[in-house]
């Protein structure tokens, strides 16, 4: 059963400049692209506890859990795309608030969900949601899959089963269905149904049961759901369920119409617009005034659709009145409590209900007790409730993430890293974390902590997003020393949004903002500013040993000059970026230096490339950097004996307005060749000037190929 979403809009695909380094042979038609990238899963098949269940069935029966054994739901589907999917499942038990349940995968197109703790007579609703793991499509872009209603049968087997699970009546010729309350614990067993005043007693009936047949005393039906027409409920009616072994169970069914002055709400449900998940309210008909209280998960939008069952003639909210029960309303704003008024059939008797929707705790409303909390782990599974007193505590509890779909941790208060209550943050092997802040919260270097505030181990990954700030504290406390970069990476680091890495004073070491040691750093947004190091004031890129073998580090930089910046850093070598030991720096956007915020160094004010490393410039800007006594205001490149020659290849971008100690020392670029190795500079430009200043290659063994406009 598919619950449709709004139609998808036009898709715009952007290919990054990094594609210039690869061969792209995919050239789909618009129709192919639409079919492969916008259509959701289709062709569903379902197995429950190993048996196939037709999705045309109006309900699913499962046995009681017994000894803790859950029921296994396996849903398979077709999906015509190479993009990996991510899933979210919501389950509600006996009309309570839906909660997240764990979804596991089996192959690329089968998911598994466990229905745990089912007891006799329990009923469940289950909804599965889809999105692409890379964020290309979100949950609201694909149709939800809504499972048929799930009922837990009585402890009997298929031969002796004879229970009624659901009972609904509809006034003959009418459209409104009323659900009965089934009591399988009473003697005799009962079904009670309340209907509004004036409802005719002649009704049609639909019954879900576990027997071989069911009878109302006049008609016997051998199907489930069993449908009866024209049943007279002027008085109580007995329904008899017969099991396959011939045993029977009698249910007394009573339909009670409201009186002329009846005006009670008996059921109240809400759902956020564009979703398929209903949340049931708790109705208190003893309070003054009478109330309805509803709990919904964090992040649920306050604009909601409403379905109300009541015993009056009409119900109203604001200027909207509905003369029916159930009464449906759309677009009700529950930011604050809302009053609903039920009017009785006499036209004068009314009852006011105050309806409150309580949104679950989230990043902007942590629990009042148990804190102070600094981190919130999204989609947390009870009992931890998602809130932690340290980021490392949240990282330790995060176990479900992948690199494509990491566990998200939101910084909700400033955290000063120290040696006791707020330890340094370690992203260990095979941990995958997305760390963000929507309110400019900061991770600060605290007293007594000199090393990196964050370390990403090989095979682990960290994505920094939002408005997060990581502060080394040197601006406020100049004497606060560091012995390492703010972040050390041997795994994978991504940085985007408006993240800021700033003010780290690692004057005696390598890397002020980020130090890459055999790992990968992808910077697509944010700024690295005000940091100090011996090598690489902003970013230091070095090789390292991963899985027993040496690999060079990789740094890629993309975005616009306004969105991605390495500015105002200083070092002895490489004020902005230092690339070393066979490592690689690919720049396809952003800026290194800007007017009024230079990166400065003795050599290589913007970028320093050394010892067999490679700098590939596809786009972006290197400007307004300076060397105070050395060479290479924009870029300094040099080789060494091992691993050998260093390369600078420039396809595009701008190197402009950089300064060196003298015009002969390369305000734009200085290439130096040691006696036993060399430097290679390949400078290829398109039309139009894109550099100002002097380029110099110094040393007899150097090779240079300048084609400059």
pLDDT in tens, 341-358: 999 999 999 999 999 999
Quote the CA–CA distance of 563 and 584 in Å, as a whole number.
Answer: 22
- Is it the case that residue 539 has pLDDT exceeding 90? yes
Judge whether 303 and 318 are in contact, CB under 8 Å: no
Pairing state between β 387-388 and 564-567:
unpaired
pLDDT at 125: 87
What pLDDT, on a 0 to 100 scale, did the predictor assign at position 671? 53
- How confident is the model over 310-318, as a mean pLDDT? 93
**Which tokens sit at 223?**
């199907």
pLDDT tens digits, one per residue of 48-106? 888 888 877 667 878 777 655 788 888 888 887 777 888 888 888 887 777 778 888 87
User: Residues with Cβ < 8 Å from 177, sequence gap 6 or more?
Assistant: 168, 169, 170, 206
Q: Specify the DSSP class assigned to residue 26.
A: -
Name residue, tokens 């298929």. 158
Look at the block and give the residue holding tokens 């008609």. Answer: 219
pLDDT of residue 640: 64
Number of helices and strands in the chain (H, E): 2, 69
Look at the block and give the residue holding tokens 């008899």.
240
At 270, the pLDDT band (50, 70, 90 cuts) reads: very high
Helix (H, G, I), strand (E, B) or coil at 19: helix
pLDDT higher at 332 or 134: 332
CA-CA distance, 366 to 294, in Å (whole number)? 18
Please check whether residue 361 is in contact with residue 368, taking contact to mean a CB–CB distance below 8 angstroms: no
Mean pLDDT over residues 418-424, rounded? 90
Mean pLDDT, range 588-606, rounded to an integer: 95
CB atoms within 10 A of CB 360: 14
pLDDT at residue 674, rounded to an integer: 35
Q: Tell me whether strands 584-592 and 614-623 are parallel, antiparallel or unpaired.
A: parallel
| pLDDT at residue 458, as a whole number | 92
In whole angstroms, give the CA distance from residue 213 to residue 293: 40
Question: Where does the pLDDT of residue 698 fall: very low under 50, low under 70, confident under 90, or very high at 90 and above?
Answer: very low
428 exposure class (CB count in 10 Å sphere: 0-12, 13-18, 19+): middle
Rounded Cα distance, 250 and 11, in Å = 59
pLDDT tens-digit readout, 355-374: 999 988 778 778 877 888 89
DSSP 215-246: E-SS-EE-SSSEEEEEEE-SS-EEEEEE-TTS
Residue 522 vs residues 78, 132, 166, 502, 589: alpha-carbon distances, Å: 33, 21, 55, 17, 12
377 — pLDDT class (breaks 50, 70, 90): confident
Residue 550 β-bridge partners: 545
In a 10 Å sphere around its CB, with 0-12 CB exposed, 13-18 middle and 19+ buried, how is residue 294 labelled? buried
Q: Give percent of the chain above pLDDT 70.
A: 83
Handedness of CA 505, 511, 514, 518 (dihedral sign): negative
Q: What is the mean pLDDT of residues 20-35?
A: 35
In the DSSP assignment, the letter for residue 665 is: G
* pLDDT value for 398: 86
How far is 674 from 697, CA to CA, in rounded Å? 11
- The widest CA-to-CA distance across the chain, in whole angstroms, is 109
Lowest mean pLDDT among 144-158, 193-207, 384-398, 611-625: 144-158
pLDDT of residue 35: 42
- Measured at the CA of 139, the angle between CA 440 and CA 522, to 5 degrees, comes to 50
Give whichever of 254-268, 322-336, 509-523, 669-683 has the largest mean pLDDT.
509-523
pLDDT in tens, 199-212: 899 999 999 988 89
Residue 420, CA atoms < 13 Å, CB-side half-sphere: 2
Among residues 197, 229, 195, 223, the alpha carbon closest in space to that of 210 is found at 223
Least confident of 138-142, 213-217, 346-350, 492-496: 138-142
Instruction: Identify any residues that bridge with 532 across adjacent strands, giving them in sequence order.
Output: 505, 570
DSSP E strand stretches across 393-431: 407-411, 415-417, 425-427
Both tokens assigned to 281: 């309210």
* Greatest mean pLDDT among 193-202, 403-412, 461-470: 461-470
pTM > 0.75:
no
Q: CB neighbours (10 Å) of residue 31?
A: 8
Burial readout 320-332 (b: 16 or more C-beta within 10 A, e: otherwise): eebeebbbebeeb
**pLDDT exceeds cutoff 70 at 245:** yes
3-state helix, strand, coil in the chain (%, to 5): 5, 45, 50
| pLDDT of residue 267 exceeding 50 | yes
| H, E, C per residue of 288-314 | CCEEEEEEECCCCCCEEEEEEEECCCE
Confidence at 242, pLDDT banded by 50, 70, 90: very high
Residue 587: CB partners within 8 Å, gap ≥ 6? 556, 557, 615, 616, 617, 618, 619, 620, 653
> Are the CB atoms for 641 and 615 separated by under 8 Å?
no
Q: Say if residue 709's pLDDT is above 70.
A: no
CB-based contacts of 246, cutoff 8 Å, min separation 6: none
DSSP string, 571-589: EEE-SSEEE-SS-EEEEEE
Is residue 191's pLDDT more than 60?
A: yes
**pLDDT of 247 over the 80 cut:** yes
Distances (CA, A) of 240 to 139, 166, 170, 249, 350: 45, 14, 20, 6, 40
Q: Which of 489, 430, 441 is nearest to 465 (CA)?
A: 441
Q: What is the mean pLDDT of residues 173-190?
A: 87
Q: What are phi and psi of 663, to 5 degrees?
A: -65, -20
Report the distance separating Cα 100 and Cα 297, nearest Å.
10
User: Which whole number is the average pLDDT over 699-704?
Assistant: 39
């Amino acid at each position: 059963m598919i619950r449709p979403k709004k139609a998808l809009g036009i898709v715009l695909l952007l290919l990054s400049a990094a594609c210039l380094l690869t061969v792209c042979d995919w050239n789909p038609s618009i129709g192919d692209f639409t079919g492969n990238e916008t259509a959701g899963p289709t062709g569903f098949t379902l197995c429950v506890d190993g048996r196939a269940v037709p999705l045309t069935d109006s309900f699913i029966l499962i046995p009681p859990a017994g000894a803790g054994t859950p029921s296994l739901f396996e849903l398979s589907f077709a999906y015509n795309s190479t993009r990996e999917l991510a899933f979210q499942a919501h389950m509600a038990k006996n009309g309570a608030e839906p909660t997240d349940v764990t979804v596991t995968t089996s192959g690329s197109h089968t998911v598994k969900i466990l229905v745990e703790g089912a007891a006799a007579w329990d009923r469940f609703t289950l909804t599965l949601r889809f999105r692409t793991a890379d964020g290309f499509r979100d949950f609201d872009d694909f149709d939800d899959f809504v499972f048929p209603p799930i009922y837990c049968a009585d402890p009997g087997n298929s031969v002796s089963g004879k229970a009624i699970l659901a009972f609904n009546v509809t006034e003959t010729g009418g459209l409104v269905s009323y659900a009965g309350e089934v009591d399988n614990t009473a003697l005799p067993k009962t079904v009670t149904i309340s209907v509004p005043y004036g409802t005719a007693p002649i009704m049609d009936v639909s019954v879900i049961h576990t027997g071989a047949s069911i009878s109302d005393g006049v008609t016997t039906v051998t199907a489930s759901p069993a449908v009866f027409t024209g049943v007279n409920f002027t008085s109580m009616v007995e329904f008899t369920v017969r099991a396959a072994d011939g045993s029977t169970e009698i249910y007394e069914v009573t339909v009670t119409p409201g009186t002329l002055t009846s005006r009670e709400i008996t059921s109240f449900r809400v759902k956020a617009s564009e979703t398929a998940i209903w949340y049931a309210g708790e109705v208190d008909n003893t309070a003054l005034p009478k109330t309805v209280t509803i709990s919904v998960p964090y992040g649920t939008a306050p604009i909601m659709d409403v379905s109300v069952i009541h015993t009056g003639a009409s119900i109203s909210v604001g200027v909207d009145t509905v003369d029916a029960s159930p009464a449906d309303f759309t677009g009700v704003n529950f930011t604050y409590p809302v009053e609903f008024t039920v009017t009785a059939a006499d036209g004068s008797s009314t009852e006011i209900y105050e309806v409150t929707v309580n949104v679950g705790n989230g990043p902007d409303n942590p629990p009042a007790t148990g804190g102070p909390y600094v981190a919130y782990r999204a989609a947390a599974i009870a009992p931890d409730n998602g809130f932690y007193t340290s980021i490392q505590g949240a990282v330790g509890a995060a176990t479900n993430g992948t690199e494509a779909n990491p566990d998200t941790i939101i910084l909700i208060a400033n955290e000063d890293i120290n040696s006791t209550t707020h330890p340094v943050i370690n992203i260990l092997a095979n941990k995958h974390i997305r760390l963000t802040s929507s309110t400019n919260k900061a991770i600060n270097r605290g007293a007594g902590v000199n090393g990196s505030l964050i370390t990403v181990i090989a095979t682990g990954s960290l994505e920094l997003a939002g408005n997060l700030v990581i502060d080394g504290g040197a601006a406020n406390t100049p004497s606060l020393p560091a012995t390492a970069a703010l972040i050390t990476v041997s795994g994978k680091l991504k940085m985007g949004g408006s993240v800021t890495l700033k003010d780290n004073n690692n004057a005696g070491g390598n890397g002020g903002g980020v130090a890459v040691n055999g790992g990968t750093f992808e910077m697509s947004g944010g700024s690295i500013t005000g940091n100090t190091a011996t090598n690489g004031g902003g970013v230091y890129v070095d090789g390292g040993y991963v899985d027993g073998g040496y690999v060079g580090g990789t740094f890629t930089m993309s975005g616009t000059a306004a969105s991605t910046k390495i500015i105002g850093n200083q070092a002895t070598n490489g004020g902005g970026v230092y690339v070393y030991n066979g490592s690689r720096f690919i720049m396809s956007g952003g800026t290194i230096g800007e007017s009024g915020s230079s990166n400065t160094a003795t050599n290589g004010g913007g970028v320093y490339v050394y010892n067999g490393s490679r700098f590939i410039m596809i786009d972006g800007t290197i400007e307004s950097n300076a060397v105070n006594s050395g060479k290479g205001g924009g870029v300094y490149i040099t080789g060494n004996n091992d691993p050998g020659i260093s390369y600078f290849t420039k396809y595009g971008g701008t190197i402009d307005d950089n300064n060196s100690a003298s015009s002969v020392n390369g305000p734009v670029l200085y290439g130096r060749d040691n006696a036993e190795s060399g430097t290679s500079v390949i400078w290829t430009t398109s039309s139009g000037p894109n550099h100002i200043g002097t380029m110099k290659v110094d040393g007899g063994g150097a090779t240079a190929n300048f084609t400059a406009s």
